[in-house]
Structure 1
């Protein structure tokens, strides 16, 4: 008997059952032999008709058997109709919820395969499948329903990544939100679901700039911190959100963004294995946070944490970003009453950075500026003229490496040249310092702390110039900068 004959035999029996309007014929001994014969033909090349026909035969056998004796027939029926459901065929409506639940495992396998393929058509088919699963399973039917919504959301997010269709992103957020709300209503939550919703909200924020999405995503991830074991954390999501919050703080100076970024970046680093290359970027971001908060509050605990965190990320550190953060922390600690060892450590850390990095690296001017700052601090500490000259060279190379030098870099070179004039009497250094400090101040906000520092330095330069030339123009400019107060002039 051929495969077609086996299928035709079962179809004839199904037709007889339909004519007689009774499932009794499904229980005949011959019917069981026919079912076994058709079952042997099933496989990857079998037609959907074979699965549907055999599924119906087991369905009728289940109906014909006394209560509780047909459970195995029902299980076999559902099993046979899963391939049909995956092929978007739904032959027995009353069994649809059971068939959908039974389809979850192969549907999850298809989703995992689609996530690794840059194929919009494949993910579109998987999205349709998971939409049908979620639609077929009532909320109160199976405890896994919220997981099904979550997997649909994951498929929709992948679809958005490939197709950039905003409707897919909105639908994914809707599904993730329903999962979150259902968990809250039952008095519990799954950290994975919170991460999924937060990641989707962050994606929408990046696309639209919605501050509400950023706030909501931060609140969700702050909720996950400390909930469940650390291995359930998703450090990539934590880092991306923490970094975005830090960037928004740097743009807006909003304290709530800084505090949220700090909490989330701490959690991201805690969840990142030390051996991962990603540790370096995460340490650097957290150091930026801690430095920003220290500069706002002066809380020494942030500075100490920054030093501790930076030491964790020193290896690997191919671009020296963590070493520069650590050097910056030591310089800040020295400025606030630290020890000479802080300056020596800053010099030790920064010296190899400017030699190691290619000069055309975007971060090279900043590294050179940091090295100059460390050398200048050591000069102020010990008075070694070699350190002062080396600092001038470092700051000059920093400025020359930029098409449009940063005001901070211009001002640092200007201040150091003023110190060279004070030490050596070099008039050219004083004149250059005046020009550099004026350029720096002109490019900065009037109310910034750094601008005030540079204005003070420029005032002192102008007083020095007056003392050298007795020209009142520099003196008048200095009075405008410093205000009506006592100066160290020869007329005091």
Structure 2
């Protein structure tokens, strides 16, 4: 609004209209838009009236506009903002107090927004500036504790430092602001492992205690926070002086906290944790007994429903369990089972704490009460999706899931050992557990990608809103390197150190703005979902399919879900008749670990050259692994399915493999004894045509995408070929041009993007066809077939940053995260002739199938050809030529992407057997060189 000539509000007509509006507002005080108009009218009257006559309107403007200020309604008179913040202060503090004891992320987000407005409206030098910054930190810290969003934690540190800097020495709040900052730095260390943060946390913790006047009611809190920082530094450095000091200040904190004080339970629990830590290093039973005692006191001091109750119970359970291990006293064991069970049932606790409590419980009772263990396991897995809400950035989601790596497999193993269920029920429940607990991020993405066609027909406006919000949420977000987090301490607010370098601080401020936008988008997205599900026929829109719907996916061929854990290894066989279970007793965890390590070592040692006449040691290692895989896993599975011999005729059976966890690192599709005589080979590729799928639900999605093209899409148009014979910063791939030419021969109308030839005579047209991320993303939506011949990179620390290496890969990479926002309607086949496009190396995320091949499938390609490791580019050119030849079926026929699995199978078998391929690596014993042909795989429909 613009004040313009403020005197117009003094004319009689305007005054009469204002009085009617003011009357309406008094009768409808929740209509804030009317309140905004009333407030502006008061403000303009204040501006127009002479001094001495304007104070009533000033007061009226503040009263009317304060609720608007709290709610974020804009615009408001800028000169009034500091006064509105002062008026809103008590109400904002009420919001904060509610949020600090709530698990409602909506309330937490609203409180964050309120305190951001409070801080922005507070001028420098205002007596409440430091306190408001600290309160904003408290709101951000609390939201971080419930969501794990690093953007919140980063911003908390920034405002924590600002609060300290805005507080003069000797101010009564100085100690509190220092202590909050210390807690924040300690939290960042737990997440990132930066020792500078930990040392600074101890330093400012000491400063907080030293700045505390005698008799200060918050002294105990500052002591407890310092104790937490000292214990954390001991755990990192092993310095006993830090641990002993932590015990001392922990006792002081408890002694300074009266009975009934809301902070007493947390300080008792922290002291117990510290005492137990000292017992673990000294063996002093007095410390452990005291840890149990104060742990009980902490639990007794905690009201039911307190969000921290689960943490205090779990801390007590750890102490009881430690004492049981030392004394073998069954009373302690039973008590530990009870308190972990109670912690698991605290409904107000954050999902991560409930999962940790449930996991601890099943570890205790698996041997004595398998029925209860199974029930808890199933509940724990159901919580996994709650750990990664949409408002979290991709890096935060991966960090949270990485904390619970392997959980789904262990839960499935418990279900399959359940003594009270029949065989079929065990198999069905185990499948449900695996589908829920593996590929969690993939399932979240699939929630937003189905059923749109019908919605666009019945409710196009809702469909448009849904697509817009979905696409905004799926945009890549900044990532933060993850580290394992330790147990929480008594930290009222937490923060991360703000760098003195402007560039870093600006980046973190931008990250905070993105996080705020993301929270708003999630609220809008959930509201649209609710509206869609209210439309007749769309009640289950965006919800996962039922177990019975998943079983239908075996109609075109069996789906084999393999689970591997230290306790047992099993295969779940989905066939047209239902789901059954096959135990794999010869597949053991320890041997699997050995084979995976040997596999990775062999890949690293392999140096494939065209002049070699034998495979060499790495080839022999892989040959042995493939034979072992057949003996312990693939052979028994195919035998149970009745596919243990080479089929007669041209119609080969298909099998979809879904090997979760560690087994997914190995080429199950190539398992077998390939040196057996032809016609009697005990190998997967001589018995069935293999495909992969991360989950059964992902297979369902791929088939939905394929069904869009059942009436035919002309694959002669819309093909895209991306070729990188040279790549900035990478070795040359001399056969990539050959591969591109061969592919273009099969799809002559393809758009070809290729790296510029640096030889004399290159043209401007060459430069315009350089494969950049932007160029590729421009052409992909028009592509039915996309063929990439280039280097690939698997990021060992963050699989979402794995990428295809294009011309601008150093500045603007085409990553898995970038592909997550792509939607393709014409896509049928993606051929990724690049290194390791179907591989993931981060152990904590093996269950998530985050790699380039899955990203292309999620983008809309129902058929994707990828690789498990680095491929020889001469072999790649030949395999690609053979693949497209077989994709036609017969000479003169059009390319048929639905034949992708069969075409790849035929091409790889030909490469292995060397049939009519003497011009490709002549002299090789192909069967003895599986590194050449075994990496190729098909994923999808």
- TM-score, normalising length: structure 1: 0.53
Off by >6 Å, runs of 4+ in structure 1: 130-133, 168-176, 193-198, 200-208, 474-481
The question of 1:323 aligning with 2:192 is answered: no
After TM superposition, the structure 1 stretch with the greater mean CA deviation from structure 2, 439-448 or 472-481, is: 472-481
In 1: Cα distance, 2:296 partner to 2:69 partner:
55
1:281 paired with 2:176, answer yes
RMSD: 4.5
Q: Indicate conservation of the 8 Å contact 1:445/1:451, yes or no.
A: no
Match of 1:142 in 2: none
The answer to whether the aligner puts 1:417 opposite 2:317 as a matched pair is no
- Quote the offset at 1:476 in angstroms: 6.3
1:438 and 2:336 correspond: no
Deviation at 1:249, TM superposition (A): 4.4
Decide whether aligned partners of structure 1 residues 220 and 269 sit closer, same or farther in structure 2, where only a CA change above 3 A counts: same
For 1:165, what is the secondary structure of its paired residue?
helix
Deviation of the 1:269 alpha carbon: 1.5
Q: 1:428 aligns with which of 315, 331, 335?
A: 331
Q: Distance in 1 between matches of 2:373 and 2:140?
A: 42
Q: Which residue of 1 aligns with 2:205?
A: 310
Q: Is the 8 A contact 1:324 1:370 kept in 2?
A: yes
2:293 matched residue in structure 1: 393
> Per-residue CA shift, 1:103-137, capped at 9, x if unaligned?
xxxxxxxxxxxxxxxxxxxxxxxxxxx98895479
Q: 1:486 aligns with which of 553, 566, 580?
A: 566
Distance 2:253 2:94 in 1: 36
Equivalents in 1 of 2:83, 2:196: separation in Å?
33
In the TM superposition, residue 422 of structure 1 has moved relative to its aligned partner by 0.8
**TM-score of the aligned structures, taking structure 2 as reference length:** 0.30
- Asked if the contact 1:204–1:213 (Cα under 8 Å) also holds between the matched residues in 2, the reply is no
Q: 1:135 to 1:292 in 2, by over 3 A?
A: farther
Q: CA, structure 1 residues 164+407, in 2 after alignment: closer, same or farther (shift >3 Å)? A: farther
Deviation at 1:388, TM superposition (A): 0.6
Pairwise mapping of residues 79-90 of structure 1 onto structure 2 (< 5 A)? Answer: none
Structure 1 residue aligned with 2:279? 379
Deviations 1:237-284 (A, max 9, x none): 232243134314413645444433332232222222232221233223
Distance (whole Å) between structure 2 residues aligned to residue 443 and residue 418 of structure 1 = 20
> Are positions 1:240 and 2:127 aligned together?
no
Contact residue 183 and residue 229 of structure 2 kept, 8 A: no
Higher helix proportion: 1
Q: Deviations over 1:352-405 (max 9, x none)?
A: 222232212121111111111110110111111111100000101111123326
Structure 1 counterpart of 2:188: 293
Secondary structure of the 1:274 match is: coil
Can you list the C-alpha shifts for 1:136-195, whole angstroms capped at 9, x where unaligned? 79xxxxxxxxxx9xxx99x94xx47xx98224777999998545xxxxxxxxxxxxx996
Q: Deviations over 1:315-340 (max 9, x none)?
A: 22533111111111122223344422
Higher Cα Rg: structure 1 or 2? 1
- Name whichever of 329-338 and 367-376 sits farther off: 329-338
Relative to 1, partners in 2 of residues 1:167 and 1:178: Cα closer, same or farther, differing over 3 Å?
closer
Confirm or deny: 8 A CA contact 2:269 2:312 kept in the other structure: yes
Structure 1 unaligned blocks of 5 or more: 1-129, 138-147, 180-192, 225-231
Q: Distance in 2 between matches of 1:453 and 1:359?
A: 29
**Deviation (angstroms), 1:345:** 1.4
Distance 1:381 1:168, change over 3 A: closer
The question of whether the paired residues in 2 share the 8 Å contact of 1:202 and 1:214 is answered with no
Note the C-alpha offset of 1:207. 8.9
Q: Distance in 2 between matches of 1:449 and 1:248?
A: 18
Q: Which of 334, 337, 341 is residue 241 of structure 2 equivalent to?
A: 341
Unaligned runs of 5+ in 2: 1-42, 96-109, 381-409, 414-564, 569-589, 591-941
2:64 maps to which residue?
Answer: 166
Q: Aligned pair in 2 of structure 1 residues 441, 336: CA closer, same or farther (>3 Å)?
A: farther
Structure with more of its chain in strand, by fraction: 2
Give yes or no for contact 2:137–2:159 (8 Å, CA) kept in 1. Answer: no
Change beyond 3 A, Cα 1:477–1:259: closer
- Supply the distance in 2 between the matched residues of 1:446 and 1:171 (Cα, whole angstroms): 32
Q: What is the CA–CA distance in structure 1 between the aligned matches of 2:346 and 2:296, rounded to whole Å? A: 18
Secondary structure, counterpart of 1:435 in structure 2:
helix
The question of whether the paired residues in 1 share the 8 Å contact of 2:251 and 2:271 is answered with yes
**Counterpart selection for 2:262 from 356, 362, 375:** 362
Instruction: Return the alpha-carbon distance in structure 1 between the equivalents of residues 193 and 89 of structure 2.
Output: 31
| Aligned mate of 1:259, from 142, 154, 170 | 154
1:313 aligned counterpart, secondary structure: helix
Deviations 1:392-423 (A, max 9, x none): 00101111123326011111111211111111
In the alignment, which residue of structure 1 is the partner of 2:600?
none
Residues 425 and 487 from structure 1, CA distance in 2 versus in 1: closer, same or farther, beyond 3 angstroms?
farther
Higher relative contact order (CA 8 A, sep 6+): 2
